[in-house]
Amino acid sequence: MHSFTVLFIVLLAAGLVLRLWLLRRQVRAVRAHRDRVPEPFAGAVTPEQHARAADYTIARARSEALHLVAGAVLLLLLTIAGGIAAIDAWTGWMGFTGLARGVATVGATGLVLMLAGLPFDIWSTFRIESRFGFNRTTPGLFALDLLKGLVIAACLMLPLVALLLWLMPRAGDRWWLWAWAAWALFSILLSWAWPRLIAPLFNRFRELENGPMRDAVESLARDCGFEPRGVMVMDGSRRSSHGNAYFTGLGRAKRIVFFDTLLEALAPAEVQAVLAHELGHFRLRHVAWRIVASLAAAFAGFAVLAWLAKAPWFQPALGVAAGGPHTLLLLFALTAPVFLLPLGPLSAWISRRHEYAADEYAARHADARALAEALVKLYRDNTATLTPDPLYTAFHASHPPALLRIARLTAGRRA
């Protein structure tokens, strides 16, 4: 067995064990605090709601554990057990050759991954989310979403894959720089097209009607230096009762999008505070930082890919004896997360720091107390756990725990 095969298996197993251990810690921490509502939430969250949030978190953690194990098994099946080699042989047998065969193999592997994840999506949506009263999607809408998602993924990804596979053997030693440039262009194009062309395929958007809510939103946006090009309400309630808000767009002209479920749950001052937090992410350049970081990561990724393309051991060590650029691309994309495990906690840590900074920004430009109250309502209505395990949080959480955020907001108010 090649030593790289051994390294891959060891790291995959270690990552799996670590994640399962963290999930176990999370379940224990949540269960230990199930019967007592933490102090800042005591008035707003009933003991029943708190216990339900604990049960919801535990149910999701269990399904996540199963998903992790299944994902690791599938990865072994596709790589070392010869799954990708078999799919590639099959597309050859179907009569595909050259570039078309590469695209067909990548597409078929993507389809296999999607189908393997489907039972977990169905379980999560129709068992867990339904059991806790969040799910509003129907099997018909779910199937339609799936079909639309599949068509969109094929329309977006297959041309990009074709372009990369075309470049790899033709663009000389520096092909990876061209590939990276194509990738960068593609991501910028996608961030432009997503809110305009793709999101409307899944949800209905309408302008927020004139009134106190709209006035509050627009005046705050102007105070923070944004000229909102549209304040939209999205019918998130079609699928789920979870609430959210986000911004889209490049440059100064931003589109503000609220989930209808968020506007129903919060008072105007609270909506303003949530918006101030989102505006903070832009003003403090968190969004620009994320774009630059992802482009830099892609640059490093393509450089490694170019190096692996010249390494004769890489593909055979991962189960593909006679591969080409397309199997190289697949093996790289599928196995890179195994080797990049430590980057997860690092990016979660940066993200949590950004959340605190956006909270501080919101406290300066809107009412800190209103933001704290909005957070209480959002955590309550989303049935998010208030008592996560600290290590689990450090490893996975993109947002700091609710109690710490609220403590900071209320401490800032006293100071």
99 neighbors 162 (Cβ within 8 angstroms):
yes
Minimum CB distance to Zn ion smaller for 355 or for 367: 355
294 neighbors 301 (Cβ within 8 angstroms):
no
Min dist CB 311 to Zn ion, Å, is: 41
381 neighbors 402 (Cβ within 8 angstroms):
no
Candidate ranges 189-197, 252-260, 261-269, 349-357; the one touching Zn ion (CB under 5 A):
349-357
The distance in angstroms from the start CA to the end CA of the chain is: 63
What is the per-residue DSSP string for 347-365? HHHHHHHHHHHHHHHHHHH
Minimum CB distance to Zn ion smaller for 328 or for 371: 371
Candidate ranges 133-141, 211-219, 328-336, 347-355; the one touching Zn ion (CB under 5 A):
347-355
Candidate ranges 150-158, 160-168, 238-246, 348-356; the one touching Zn ion (CB under 5 A):
348-356
Min dist CB 296 to Zn ion, Å, is: 22
Minimum CB distance to Zn ion smaller for 352 or for 380: 352
Provide the mask over 304-343, with x wherever binding to Zn ion is found by CB under 5 A and - wherever it is not: ----------------------------------------
Minimum CB distance to Zn ion smaller for 213 or for 276: 276
Rounded distance between C-alpha atoms, residue 82 and residue 5, angstroms: 13
Min dist CB 102 to Zn ion, Å, is: 40
Min dist CB 272 to Zn ion, Å, is: 15
Rounded distance between C-alpha atoms, residue 101 and residue 87, angstroms: 10
**What is the layout of strands, in order, in the sheet containing 205-207?**
205-207, 231-234, 255-259, 245-248
Minimum CB distance to Zn ion smaller for 12 or for 257: 257
Nearest Cα to Cα of residue 334 among 313, 350, 349, 319? 319
Min dist CB 188 to Zn ion, Å, is: 22
Quote the DSSP letter at residue 127: I
**Inter-helix orientation angle 343-365/402-414, to 10°:** 30
Rounded distance between C-alpha atoms, residue 87 and residue 108, angstroms: 7
Q: How many residues bind Zn ion (CB under 5 A)?
A: 2
Q: What share of the chain is helix, strand, coil (3-state, %, to 5)?
A: 75, 5, 20
Provide the mask over 130-149, with x wherever binding to Zn ion is found by CB under 5 A and - wherever it is not: --------------------
Candidate ranges 28-36, 72-80, 117-125, 351-359; the one touching Zn ion (CB under 5 A):
351-359
Report the helix count and the strand count for the chain, using DSSP H and E: 18, 4
Min dist CB 270 to Zn ion, Å, is: 15
Candidate ranges 41-49, 96-104, 308-316, 355-363; the one touching Zn ion (CB under 5 A):
355-363
Minimum CB distance to Zn ion smaller for 282 or for 302: 282
Cα 133 to chain centroid distance, Å, stands at 23
Minimum CB distance to Zn ion smaller for 84 or for 275: 275
Q: Where are the beta strands (DSSP E) in 83-209?
A: 205-207
Nearest Cα to Cα of residue 244 among 78, 382, 121, 370? 382
Minimum CB distance to Zn ion smaller for 23 or for 358: 358
Min dist CB 357 to Zn ion, Å, is: 9
Candidate ranges 148-156, 177-185, 331-339, 353-361; the one touching Zn ion (CB under 5 A):
353-361
Candidate ranges 77-85, 223-231, 325-333, 358-366; the one touching Zn ion (CB under 5 A):
358-366
Minimum CB distance to Zn ion smaller for 27 or for 372: 372
272 neighbors 370 (Cβ within 8 angstroms):
yes
Binding site for Zn ion (CB under 5 A): 355, 358
